[in-house]
């Protein structure tokens, strides 16, 4: 495990430090990068993915984020994005998820599809501004969900993760929320009304 401490560093320093650590490895290795802002998470993630890394990220606290990069081996020195500062990747889109399944027909297939959908959101060039979960969708942000890693990664990159409090209570999950924050119907309506675009799988 290699730890890169880029807390307090302005862009492009976190990217440069991470790239240097990646170029020094000779075999499979895990690199943890600590940064203090969402834009740094986005920039480090983009560079690491372009270099062949498997990347996850997590918000540890206020102005405290961890990016975990799994590398399979040495990286070519010319590989990867240049150490540049790109603007915030978030757009004006909101993703609304109302079920723990995607589509109708076979429930097991529906659960596989919704997991794939959430992963696909993490790969968008322009991330959504927020993701809202209600009714059966509320289970996806709670303990036991297969999508927690992807949702935590999105949250670390500045995507607001909101789950209906009434729904969590209905499913007995009030104390089991694992990512994001609890919201109410007024906020849900407000966010949707202000959105430039709404995606609902």
Residue pointed to by tokens 């010319």 = 78
User: Running DSSP on this structure, what letter comes out for residue 165?
Assistant: H
Q: What is the 3-state secondary structure (H, E, C) of 96-127?
A: EECCCCCCCCCHHHHHHHHHHHHHHHHCCCCE
Tell me if residue 11 is catalytic.
yes
3-state secondary structure of 59: strand
Quickly count: other Cβ atoms within 10 Å of residue 116's Cβ: 14
If you compute the radius of gyration of the chain from its CA atoms, what whole number of angstroms results? 18
3-state secondary structure of 153: helix
Instruction: Return phi, psi of residue 174, to 5°.
Output: -55, -40
> Active-site residue among 11, 85, 164, 167?
11
Note whether 163 and 131 are within 8 A (CB): no
Catalytic residues: 11
């Amino acid at each position: 495990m290699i730890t890169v401490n880029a807390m307090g560093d302005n862009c492009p320093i976190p990217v440069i430090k991470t790239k240097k650590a990646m170029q020094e490895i000779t075999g499979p290795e895990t690199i943890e990068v600590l940064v203090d802002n969402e834009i740094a998470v986005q920039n480090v993630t983009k560079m690491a993915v372009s270099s062949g890394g498997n990347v996850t990220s997590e918000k540890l606290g206020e102005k405290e984020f961890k990016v975990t990069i799994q590398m399979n081996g040495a990286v070519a020195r010319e590989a990867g994005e240049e150490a540049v500062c790109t603007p915030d990747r978030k757009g004006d889109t909101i993703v609304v998820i109302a079920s723990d399944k995607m589509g109708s027909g076979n429930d097991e297939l529906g659960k596989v599809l919704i997991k794939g959908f959430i992963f696909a959101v993490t790969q968008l060039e322009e991330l959504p501004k927020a993701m809202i979960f209600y009714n059966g969708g509320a289970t996806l942000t709670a303990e036991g969900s297969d999508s927690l890693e992807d949702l935590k990664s999105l949250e670390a990159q500045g995507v607001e993760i909101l789950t209906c409090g009434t729904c969590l209570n209905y499913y007995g999950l009030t104390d089991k929320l694992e990512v994001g924050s609890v919201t109410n119907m007024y906020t849900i309506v407000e966010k949707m009304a202000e959105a430039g675009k709404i995606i609902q799988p």
